[in-house]
Amino acid sequence: MSTNIQHSDSITRQALSDWLPLALRGLVVVMLGPAGVLKFVDHSGEAANFAEWGIPAPEITVLLVGAIQLPAAVMIALGIAGRVGALVVIPIMITAMATAGVVVTNVLVFLGCLGILALGTGRYSLWQPGDELVAQTTRQLS
């Protein structure tokens, strides 16, 4: 009986380690990608929002945020240094929540990025630098 429980636990952990990072990536990309595109497609509208929220130099800041969000979304989507992509998005989401208020989309992107930062981008990724370093550190702490 104990062996079956251990085997089941092992399968559950493997499924979580394979699929949870992929789900987090999907969540972040679906919400972050369109927001990044909008910074360029509706630049004046986004700049007006930034100005209303008290963000300095809104015309330039909108472009800067979009220029960070789009590559980060691509990095996270493809699993190319996804932790780095998530890391650069986190301060943007904190700023967004502090200035524009707590919006569900920003909270989900923030939490998704924290998850990616903690778990990595998972098995279905193109390049994950640092994952071996995380694994070594975890082994050393055990």
> pLDDT tens digits, residue range 45-104?
999 999 999 999 999 999 999 999 999 999 999 999 999 999 999 999 999 999 999 999
Whether the CB-CB separation of 19 and 120 falls below 8 Å is answered with: no
Task: Return the pLDDT at 9.
Answer: 74
Query: What mean pLDDT, rounded, does the chain reach?
Result: 90
Give the Cβ contact number of residue 25 at 10 Å.
Answer: 28
**Angle separating helix axes 82-100 and 2-41, nearest 10 degrees:** 60
pTM of structure: 0.84
pLDDT of 134 over the 80 cut: no
